[in-house]
Structure 1
Amino acid sequence: MLDNEKFTEIELNSIMLSCYPRGATPSSADESAEDIPSQLPRESAVPKTSKLQQKLLDKYMMYAGIPPKKRPRIPRMKGSQIMLKKVQEVNEIIQQNLPTIAKIEEVVDLVYAGAITVCVELGVKITDSVKPMRKETPPPWKKRLQEKIKNIRKNIGILHTYLNTETPSSRVGKRTRQIASEFKIKSHDHHFRQRVIEICDRLKQKIKALGSRIQRYNERVKRYKNNQLYYKNKQKFFRQLEHETSDQDNSPAEEAMYAFWKNIWGEEKVHDDEAHRIREVEADSARYQMNEVEITEDDIKLALKKTNNWSAPGVDGIQNYWWKQFTTTHGLLAGFFQAALRDPSMLPDVFTLGVSYMLPKENNTVDPKKYRPITCLPTIYKILTGVLTRHIWKHVNKNNILAQEQSGCRGDARGCNELLITDYIITK
């Protein structure tokens, strides 16, 4: 089992600690009983695992080697001092297990196990699948007010029928007297008709007051939802402000969506690699010699600094937040990334496996053509490409390779805005 590498170093270390919790080691039969105590390590010399460390090792052995798609989803969490303290404790435990890491996949598994451990410690429920979105139903208080408004309108209709009919029916007259009695008005009153007009006006004012209440509650709920949406998804929040919301219930059939995008993604395109412009660019690039890239721990930190904590992860399911907080892995990541530059084959294929989401471009969500795909790649791959992009841009800016007029593919540029402004000025 050891020769076939059935267990990782962390698993073997955990098994060893569980087998000899008090420092007892097996002795050979030919050793005398008097020699055994001198050869055994002292109890205090044996490393003791804390409950948190044992939980981390358990989660690691539970999920290590499992395909990322089959792992439970790490939920998005709200920051707090308790959470930060727990993350720091797990970060220190991860540092103790880093010397046994031999592959970059094991780093990903360890970070995933650390994130799951923090969630379990904070009492967050871990689910194996994403819960389906529930249909929004009006709250009980809103239902009560709406029912009250409905009944008042019904009474107003009866009173209007009584007032606008010369000979109202016995049923309308009986119901009118019942409504009047609720306001302590007797039917034999000489000014009964005038009293009914006053009751009708009072009921209208009551409807207006109840409608204002519902409006105030709706505005309050809307503010609360907007605050939550701004915290979770800023892009969707601003799209809603621009009234670009769409009806997600009218989504196209799965077969239609698959058939349309298969014609785009499923067909292999043949490109002319010997094009004249490509040869010109290759000849021109020979004039600029790029220095050898040295990836350091600071590069990892800078690449993570620009990322959003809780942006949608790829198939690995690990958000940027966990890579930011588990700082003890940054040095090891830098070493693995440096080795990957020399031998790219050491990176597993799952690192470039993406999850594509279809976002509607218009309110017409039935047509598959009206969607735009967004592919989320694994976070660790985005860290690597972010580090390489930074080094490439240093080389490009140092040698002024890009023309000043080019705004596309340039960092900290707003090419679309500049083109729109230019077009507006020209056509004005």
Structure 2
Amino acid sequence: MLATYLEASRDLLETDFGAALAVCRIIGAKVSTAGRATGQSTAIPAWRRRIEERIAKAKALIGRLICFRSGNNTPRIVRTVRMAYARTNVSLSQQDITQKLTERIDDLKQRIAAWRKRIRRYTERSTRFNQNRLFQSDQKRLYESLERPMVSGTGPAPNQADTVAFWRGLWSEPINHSEGPWAEVVASQCASITPMDPVIITPDDVAEVVRSVLNWKSAGLDGLHHYWLKGFVVCHTVLARQFKRLSTRSRSQSSSLLGSPIWFLKTRVPQTRANTAPSRLYRPYTRH
């Protein structure tokens, strides 16, 4: 499948995401269009949802009982209190009804505390289990999660036009420098240096680099780990050709940097960062 698909691959973006799609088909995973997966499920377990519903109902009943104890005798409050004491020997007209209400309120508060403790206990157990499993597969990601909590980004998305304009002003505008005498000395010393030969990237070079990295090292934007790149040998020739094309672009062209895919020019942004200025959000790879 990859051999046929890669014949029409034009850049690294198509090659990378094509390999990721192949992985999803091999392992039977669903392809998500909502962006990169975080590795953590946001669905609330059914048992926790049931307990939270019990807590909400108990808190609502406590509020009605307190209102009735304070003298609020509206039909809605009275009906709720009668339903709470249904099938019991407690009557709303008896003398010690205030004491019965207080006892019932305290009982509900203790139940709420027990339910919350149960949620906390199960959550801590689930966290320990996930951390132990992550330690076996990806220790680096585990240590990163311990250093800073995962916070969903709520700020505005960066503007691509502002980002391109910011870096074009740094890389494309000619600047006249006033060099000192030392520049001429360095230039004369470097005149006899033989220029470096053009960079030649072969499929063997790509395979050697892929073999030297960890299988489950942090993946890129496509979520594809190196474990799969080691097995997709047919990708190595395409990757070598595309990396060579990127590395041989002329430095004199103003679009040598900005002509690259935007995803290739940026690094990950901490999700807790509030500043969305282009200089804080994107950092391109160096030319050297």
Superposition deviation, residue 204 in structure 1: 0.9
Q: Is the 8 A contact 1:251 1:366 kept in 2?
A: no
Q: Which has the higher contact order (CA 8 A, sep 6+)?
A: 2
Match of 1:258 in 2: 161
Q: Is the 8 A contact 2:158 2:281 kept in 1?
A: no
Superposition deviation, residue 364 in structure 1: 4.5
Superposition deviation, residue 161 in structure 1: 2.7
The one-character-per-residue Cα deviations of 1:125-162 (angstroms, maximum 9, x if unpaired) are 6x5x8444699453443332222111111211222233
Match of 1:214 in 2: 119
Match of 1:198 in 2: 103
Q: Is the 8 A contact 2:58 2:112 kept in 1?
A: yes
CA pair 192-312 structure 1, distance change in 2 beyond 3 A: closer
1:145 to 48, 51, 65: 51
Match of 2:245 in 1: 348
Q: Is the 8 A contact 1:246 1:364 kept in 2?
A: no
> TM-score, structure 2 length as denominator?
0.61
CA pair 279-253 structure 1, distance change in 2 beyond 3 A: same
Q: Is the 8 A contact 1:314 1:376 kept in 2?
A: no
Q: State the alpha-carbon separation in 1 of the partners of residues 140 and 47 from structure 2.
A: 30
Q: State the alpha-carbon separation in 1 of the partners of residues 36 and 127 from structure 2.
A: 19
| Alignment partner of 1:159 is 2:70 | no
Match of 1:75 in 2: 20
Q: State the alpha-carbon separation in 2 of the partners of residues 260 and 121 from structure 1.
A: 37
RMSD (Å), alpha carbons: 5.1
1:269-284 map, 5 Å: 269-270=173-174, 276-277=182-183, 279-280=185-186, 283=189
> TM-score, structure 1 length as denominator?
0.45
| Contiguous gaps of at least 5 residues in structure 2 | 250-259
Q: State the alpha-carbon separation in 1 of the partners of residues 212 and 115 from structure 2.
A: 49
Superposition deviation, residue 64 in structure 1: 0.8
Q: State the alpha-carbon separation in 1 of the partners of residues 284 and 227 from structure 2.
A: 19
Q: Which amino acid aligns with 1:65?
A: A
CA pair 73-249 structure 1, distance change in 2 beyond 3 A: farther
Q: Is the 8 A contact 1:185 1:195 kept in 2?
A: no
CA pair 132-325 structure 1, distance change in 2 beyond 3 A: closer
Aligned length in residues: 258
Q: Which amino acid aligns with 1:265?
A: R
The one-character-per-residue Cα deviations of 1:50-75 (angstroms, maximum 9, x if unpaired) are xxxxxx5xx42333132133454433
Q: Is the 8 A contact 2:166 2:278 kept in 1?
A: no
Q: Is the 8 A contact 1:357 1:374 kept in 2?
A: yes
Q: Which amino acid aligns with 2:245?
A: P
Query: Rg: which structure is higher?
Result: 1
| Contiguous gaps of at least 5 residues in structure 1 | 1-55, 77-115, 341-345, 378-384, 386-428
Q: Is the 8 A contact 1:161 1:168 kept in 2?
A: yes
Q: Is the 8 A contact 2:20 2:224 kept in 1?
A: no
| Higher deviation after alignment, 216-225 or 200-209 | 216-225
| Alignment partner of 1:368 is 2:277 | yes
1:386-425 map, 5 Å: none
Structure 1 SS opposite 2:89: coil
Structure 1 SS opposite 2:20: coil
Superposition deviation, residue 245 in structure 1: 5.0
Match of 2:5 in 1: 62
Match of 1:185 in 2: 89
1:169 to 54, 65, 73: 73
The one-character-per-residue Cα deviations of 1:333-389 (angstroms, maximum 9, x if unpaired) are 9xxx9xx9xxxxx94348875513354457353532573435589xxxxxxx9xxxx
Superposition deviation, residue 120 in structure 1: 4.4
